[in-house]
Structure 1
């Protein structure tokens, strides 16, 4: 009994490690193309279901798909109701793992064949670089998964003599709820619904569980896989909290609706050309459970989204609110959040300058005075975020965005410092000839334009500032203005020139930092 239990635990450990290695390698292999596809294919909740199911089946990680989706919601590229479609689909996509485990791992027992594959894959992962290394780690993860399944199956052969279905809660209302609770706790401990499904399939094949008990456990596992994410989201942003709550409610309601139907589904699932095979019927039940939940929730997506938003209201707006720590799990999404934060800081500076440069009757200096208290913490949070962000060295598109964000942060820092030169700003606001170009820069910062338009605009303003500086020096030479006045005017014009330069660089690097999928959605 002890040997069987130890073998079972070792098999679960190998399976979990293999699943994590496989998922990480698949996500890395997919790259930025997967994110662009996800963004393009989520225009409606129904398309989001299809896209979420397909991408989750590819990368074998509903969490990764959810993180990418919430990053798009935070950037304003898709609405929350659209993201719910992806969440429904991600739950359907996770059932593909169960089919792979049942058809390839449990039925064929490839553990012995996986051993030489593991050796070759490990060499590829350790000695290879780039895509070769990623393929190696993917094959290594897959091999460990099958070896772990074989260990669990071998251990289960010794366990079934000591544990039988009679030892566990029976197939009654109370018994189903208790089995669902056992499944929930198991997945919450293992942190993997795939490992939970594999464990249930092996126990079912060893006659340790009846089909009704296994089905109730699977329903509970569907809820358990969301519980950890929900608890982890409590310290995150409102978008992440809403997604985690929606995922939890979706799986909880689906499970509660499915539990009473188990007795009806048992004969039905065993007559759909599957014969008396309980394991195949269980995987069918798992897939059907999530399809049933999606069918129930999809027509109710808008009211469901409104309910979740009401339960998780918006927090007080801060410039760095997009920097949710959980988004660091995906490099592309983390870069999106950084770009969004840089844009928010730039717009706040532009709006404060607009208010300070307005005509006398509408001028308001309070936003400019309050700006350091908003910008300084946000800028420091952005710098800390970028220092924590890891970008793979062989991803040139992500490295380019990261470099652009570094330049962008530098120019934002210098622009923020310029915004506190109140004397020069006041001189520009009171000068009829210079107020208009200064207000134009502030308006462009407050509402980003297309990069080409912005470059031409700022180049024109810089040329204008240079001509005005020469004119001021000539007027002083002719005795038309005093030396004190010429110093004030040239200082103000130098401010105008430098701010125009920073604004042009911010637009330039902002377009690079945003990435192709953001620029494709940016309104003209």
Structure 2
């Protein structure tokens, strides 16, 4: 049992290291382009959502995109309304990693590692070597998944583990577990990835996997909330909007949990369970954006009222009525 747990932890650490390193390398390769794209293609809510989605797919991290957005909002380069659109788009973009994991590409990870190492050896310029690093980190990411997948297989026969996984069929218990795991490992992609692997191996039901996925969506808000510390009020509102958006979407989904599960199964058709879970991840975020986008003005007014801008001394002198 200890060997299985250590192997599982080893695969998880490798996956998390690859995710973090991959985001750093992609940002270094693209230089300041993500910031430029965010500033250029966010003129309205629709383009802000689309831009947030595309940049999250490129950077493979919704947290990175939202944190960059908070920085830009703090500096006054983006408005709070633009930031709300980017946040919603980032939630859609992060579901692409689930689709990739569900495609069972982990077994081909050595190919990516070989390509990456070859590029590192033959490339002379440092900038070109980063492309080799991209292949290596993608290979490490999928190899980490491959290790976890093989470590999970014997666990489903363990009665204690089986009982724990059975408890995930309760949507509330599963959501709390998913949120807690994400808070610890600081990666919703890893949490959802593990749920996909467990469902694939038959150790976790689809219902339990969807519940864990919902919790992961709440746990991922911790990164962005931390980014608002010492930020201005516009940045704080952006972080709070991310929390409110995710939390409200989760509550609605939990209230309509079984209809949502049936809807996902109907839309997915005859595909493996891990693909259905990946589809559930996408549909949850897409439908959340589709519903929320119509109420953005309401949430903007609400958060502006709860967290109003500070009135400066200069403004008070110009508007004496504010002193009263």
TM-score by length of 2: 0.88
Of 153, 161, 178 in structure 1, the residue corresponding to residue 149 of structure 2 is 153
Q: Quick check: 1:269–1:285 contact (8 Å CA) kept in 2?
A: yes
Deviations 1:166-202 (A, max 9, x none): 753264xxx2111100000101111111111111111
Matched, 1:193 2:188: yes
Q: Find the aligned partners of 1:315 and 1:13 in 2 and give their Cα distance.
A: 43
TM-score by length of 1: 0.56
Of 109, 112, 118 in structure 2, the residue corresponding to residue 111 of structure 1 is 109
Q: Find the aligned partners of 2:165 and 2:22 in 1 and give their Cα distance.
A: 35
Match of 1:264 in 2: 259
Q: Find the aligned partners of 1:160 and 1:81 in 2 and give their Cα distance.
A: 47
Q: Quick check: 1:219–1:255 contact (8 Å CA) kept in 2?
A: yes
More contact order relative to length (CA 8 Å, sep ≥ 6): 2
Structure 1 residue 58: Cα displacement: 0.9
Structure 1 residue 279: Cα displacement: 0.7
Structure 1 residue 104: Cα displacement: 4.6
| SS, match of residue 202 in structure 2 | coil
Match of 1:2 in 2: 2
C-alpha distance 145-317 of structure 1, shift in aligned 2 (>3 A): farther
Deviations 1:253-294 (A, max 9, x none): 111111233312333323335415111111111011111111
Q: Find the aligned partners of 2:52 and 2:260 in 1 and give their Cα distance.
A: 27
Of 209, 213, 219 in structure 1, the residue corresponding to residue 214 of structure 2 is 219
Correspondence 1:60-79 to 2 at 5 A: 60-79=60-79
Q: Find the aligned partners of 1:128 and 1:191 in 2 and give their Cα distance.
A: 35
C-alpha distance 261-128 of structure 1, shift in aligned 2 (>3 A): farther
C-alpha distance 274-159 of structure 1, shift in aligned 2 (>3 A): same
Of 203, 207, 212 in structure 2, the residue corresponding to residue 208 of structure 1 is 203
Correspondence 1:290-369 to 2 at 5 A: 290-315=285-310
Matched, 1:27 2:27: yes
Structure 1 residue 232: Cα displacement: 4.7
Match of 1:248 in 2: 243
Q: 4+ residue stretches of structure 1 with deviation over 6 A?
A: none
Structure 2 segments unaligned to the other structure (5+ residues): 315-324
- Across the aligned residues of Structure 1 and Structure 2, the Cα RMSD in angstroms comes to 2.3
| SS, match of residue 267 in structure 2 | coil
Structure 1 segments unaligned to the other structure (5+ residues): 319-347, 349-524
Match of 2:96 in 1: 96
**How many residues in Structure 1 have an aligned counterpart in Structure 2?**
312
Q: Find the aligned partners of 1:232 and 1:36 in 2 and give their Cα distance.
A: 20
Correspondence 1:457-472 to 2 at 5 A: none
Q: Find the aligned partners of 2:168 and 2:26 in 1 and give their Cα distance.
A: 40
Match of 2:135 in 1: 139
Q: Find the aligned partners of 2:7 and 2:47 in 1 and give their Cα distance.
A: 43
| SS, match of residue 164 in structure 1 | helix
Match of 2:319 in 1: none
C-alpha distance 273-71 of structure 1, shift in aligned 2 (>3 A): closer
Q: Quick check: 1:18–1:142 contact (8 Å CA) kept in 2?
A: yes
Deviations 1:191-226 (A, max 9, x none): 111111111111111211111111011001001001
Deviations 1:16-49 (A, max 9, x none): 1111111111112222333222212111112111
C-alpha distance 130-306 of structure 1, shift in aligned 2 (>3 A): farther
Q: Find the aligned partners of 1:278 and 1:183 in 2 and give their Cα distance.
A: 18
Q: Quick check: 1:57–1:96 contact (8 Å CA) kept in 2?
A: yes
Q: Find the aligned partners of 1:317 and 1:10 in 2 and give their Cα distance.
A: 53
Structure 1 residue 296: Cα displacement: 1.6
Q: Find the aligned partners of 1:312 and 1:250 in 2 and give their Cα distance.
A: 17
Q: Find the aligned partners of 1:77 and 1:229 in 2 and give their Cα distance.
A: 18
Match of 2:15 in 1: 15
